[in-house]
Amino acid sequence: MDKTHNISLGGFAFLIEDRAYQQLLKYLNDVRKSLGNTSDTEEIIYDVEQRMAELLKTQMKGREVIVSQDVVYLIDVLGTPEQYIDEEASHDYSFEEMDRDTKNQYNTSDLKGAMNKIPNFFRHKKLFRDLENKRLAGVFSGLSHYLDMEAVWLRILFLSVYLLMLVIPKLYYLYPFYAMIWTSVYLLFASIIPIAKTTADKLAMRGKEVNIDTLSSAKESYDSDKIRMRLNKQKGKFLGVFAGMSEYYNWDVTWLRIGYALLVLLSLPFKEALFSLFCVILYVMLWLSMNNPKNNFLKADAETSENSERAEFKFVPKSNNFSFWGIVRGFFKGIFYFITAIILSILLVLFVGLSLAFFGINIFFLGTMGGTMLVYDYLPFLIETKWELALLYVSISMLSFVALFVPIKLLINLFSSKKATFPKKWIVTNVILFFVGIIGMSIVAGSTIRSFKAYTFDTQKYSLQNSDNTLVVQNARSQFMLLDDVFSSNYVDHDGSMFMYHNENIEIYVTDKQPYLEVMRTTRGGNIPKAKLNIDKTLYPLEIKNDTILLPNHYKIEKGGLFRGQEIRIKLYLPEKKKITFDRYSKTVVWFNKKFTRVMGNKEYIVTKEGLQEEPTLLN
């Protein structure tokens, strides 16, 4: 039997035997003496204790009490202060000898030797998220340590892949889904890869052994870390991009700026300034990818006296109000939160559903509503050029991102004990996306409105038989437009043409000549030639069979045509005493000499100068 003690190591509680306790206490005192009385001593001791707690959790494997063997294990892993002093003395030789030894160790020309170095490179490294050098979630800053690469270039590579679909012809309309996939990949990595919280994690992330020597010199190892390309706003003229690059690569920042300015300006007249636009986008990507000029790793505490003690965390329970009115207020507050959360969740789901319906995707219960809003199919018939269509999709994506941000923030604030705080850059990014999206939508809207300014029309005449037979007017409905009582059933056919609903109005006039039917097509365009081209692409499939006129309830815009307010006017010129009847299920609206005339299906009418007179006989 042996006495035990309750101790705290790095914020974790342990039960330890008395003998092991004396060994551990002596070891920590030796470490403290080797470090000396500096402002960082307590911080380093705390890091050592955290590392001990991590090792003990793995070593004990369910045991409840720390024994002497566990303390010996800790000392073997972390090492003694005397060990590192001896190692420093034994390794005190010239840099030339060190360089020669390193070259002799790794100078292998065969492929096998080169391949053997790859697992050794990753063996002592662990993949963490580096939040001190993050731009979003610290995924690429942590990956840069693991791959020994500059984080900026990893971020630019990801942004390039993220935006790749926008520059691929005929695929840019898929960009929202493509971006959603890569966003999900990033979020998946952010949720799987752990955060480097402790000093031991941050050292393991850099491939360094976690012992007393590395823990005590963690700040120096950070200062010598080469994976650091940062913005330099003090020496920068705009955002500090070129100043940071020149500092990292030891370039002359003046010539770097001059070269960039010349590239942008001299390439403006060529290829519609695409290369200039590429240079501007590259600058923005560098700004988004480079770290801010600050040192967050192992933030130094404010200078304190040598005898100052580490501040102890104390939990002060909050007094609870169990009064009757307090319970009532809490009850109604909970109901309010619940209702608000449901409303926000419904709005969020509706917005996502409508956004997907905009691009032609229907989800669960939004399928019916989304089916009536497939503007994704109609946009190519409304937007004239491909660059306007691409700009519209990008603008919608930007505004959708901003619109999702507000309900998500409100939901987080409702269910979080602390109010959600977002970095200033995140807010600025949303503001920029909002205004850029509005500007993009305005450009497309203005260009589309201008394409309606010119007006033109044409007429087509169809001769009718001048016989004593009754003229029959029937409706020829498309098989895809049987639900036009509920919807204005416009749709895009499989061949890429669009069918537009037509209201089936007909104008009747009296003539002394041969009866005929006139079809007038009207449309608009950016100018008269474009308007005429839109007329040529607009087809009205009228059919005349003997004494029967088949009026379709739609007109067709062929593939490549544009919707520019097309209208179809049907004018029927008939002699007096000509008999006419309408289909039983006809929805035709008749105007006689520009006056509305009510007619009924399955009844026979006679044309007179005053109007249509109904025959008393009912047709069978």
Model pLDDT for residues 489-545, shown as the tens digit of each residue: 566 777 778 888 777 778 888 888 889 999 999 999 989 999 999 899 999 888 888
511 and 383 within one domain:
no
Report if residue 509 sits inside a domain.
Answer: yes
Q: Given pLDDT bands bounded at 50, 70 and 90, which one contains residue 352?
A: low
471 and 527 within one domain:
yes
Q: Where are the beta strands (DSSP E) in 427-583?
A: 454-463, 471-476, 491-492, 498-501, 505-510, 516-525, 538-539, 543-545, 548-552, 554-557, 567-574, 579-582
Long-range residue pairs from 234-237, CB within 8 A, at least 24 positions apart, any chain: 234/293
Distance of CA 521 to the CA centre of its chain: 44
Over 50: is that where the pLDDT of 141 sits? yes
* DSSP code of residue 198: S
Model pLDDT for residues 313-345, shown as the tens digit of each residue: 343 444 444 455 666 666 666 666 666 666 666
SS3 480: coil
Over 50: is that where the pLDDT of 102 sits? no
**DSSP string covering 25-49:** HHHHHHHHHHH-S-TTHHHHHHHHH
- Whether this model's pTM surpasses 0.75: no
505 and 399 within one domain:
no
- Residues 331 and 336: their CA atoms lie apart, in Å, by 9
210 and 328 within one domain:
no
pLDDT of residue 458: 92
Report the range out of 105-109, 348-352, 597-601 with the highest average pLDDT: 597-601
Final residue belonging to a domain, choices 177, 212, 228: 228
Final residue belonging to a domain, choices 228, 251, 282: 228
Over 60: is that where the pLDDT of 34 sits? yes
- Residues 263 and 280: their CA atoms lie apart, in Å, by 10
Report if residue 399 sits inside a domain.
Answer: yes
pLDDT of residue 406: 67
Name the residue with tokens 């920029």. Answer: 432
Contacts of 593 (CB under 8 A, 6+ apart): 508, 509, 510, 611
**DSSP string covering 38-100:** -TTHHHHHHHHHHHHHHHHHHHHTT-SEE-HHHHHHHHHHH--HHHHHHHHHHT---HHHHHH
> What interhelical angle do 68-78 and 41-60 show, nearest 10?
120
Over 80: is that where the pLDDT of 81 sits? no
Report if residue 345 sits inside a domain.
Answer: yes
Report if residue 526 sits inside a domain.
Answer: yes
pLDDT of residue 365: 44
Q: Given pLDDT bands bounded at 50, 70 and 90, which one contains residue 602?
A: confident
289 and 437 within one domain:
no
Domain that holds residue 10: 4-90
Report if residue 104 sits inside a domain.
Answer: no
423 and 568 within one domain:
no
**Nearest CA among 563, 77, 112, 46 for reference residue 309:** 46
418 and 555 within one domain:
no
333 and 188 within one domain:
no
More confident call, 162 vs 268: 162
Model pLDDT for residues 424-464, shown as the tens digit of each residue: 777 778 788 888 888 888 888 888 888 888 999 999 999 88
More confident call, 152 vs 301: 152
Contacts of 296 (CB under 8 A, 6+ apart): 132, 133
Angstrom CA distances, 65 to 9, 17, 62, 74, stand at 14, 7, 9, 15
Model pLDDT for residues 151-192, shown as the tens digit of each residue: 888 888 888 888 887 777 666 667 777 777 888 888 888 888
- Residues 291 and 136: their CA atoms lie apart, in Å, by 11
- The answer to whether the CB of 152 falls within 8 A of the CB of 286 is yes
- The answer to whether the CB of 518 falls within 8 A of the CB of 460 is yes
530 and 517 within one domain:
yes
Q: Given pLDDT bands bounded at 50, 70 and 90, which one contains residue 481?
A: very low
SS3 586: coil
SS3 10: coil
Over 80: is that where the pLDDT of 255 sits? yes
Report if residue 271 sits inside a domain.
Answer: yes
Q: Given pLDDT bands bounded at 50, 70 and 90, which one contains residue 113?
A: very low
Burial of 401 (0-12, 13-18, 19+ CB in 10 A): middle
362 and 413 within one domain:
yes
Report if residue 106 sits inside a domain.
Answer: no
590 and 545 within one domain:
yes
Report if residue 303 sits inside a domain.
Answer: no
The encoded tokens of residue 416 equal: 């979080």
Angstrom CA distances, 97 to 86, 89, 91, 104, stand at 19, 15, 10, 10
- Residues 458 and 532: their CA atoms lie apart, in Å, by 9
Q: What is the mean pLDDT of residues 479-489?
A: 45
The amino acid present at 237, given as its one-letter code, is K
**Nearest CA among 170, 174, 172, 525 for reference residue 382:** 525
Burial of 66 (0-12, 13-18, 19+ CB in 10 A): buried
Over 50: is that where the pLDDT of 112 sits? no
- Residues 588 and 599: their CA atoms lie apart, in Å, by 8
To the nearest whole number, what is the mean pLDDT of the chain? 72
SS3 217: coil
Over 70: is that where the pLDDT of 73 sits? yes
Contacts of 67 (CB under 8 A, 6+ apart): 17, 20
pLDDT of residue 446: 87
Final residue belonging to a domain, choices 450, 481, 501: 450
Over 60: is that where the pLDDT of 359 sits? no
Over 80: is that where the pLDDT of 140 sits? yes
Q: What is the mean pLDDT of residues 599-603?
A: 75
- Residues 506 and 329: their CA atoms lie apart, in Å, by 67
Distance of CA 304 to the CA centre of its chain: 46
507 and 415 within one domain:
no
Count of domains in the chain? 5
**Nearest CA among 217, 20, 146 for reference residue 28:** 20
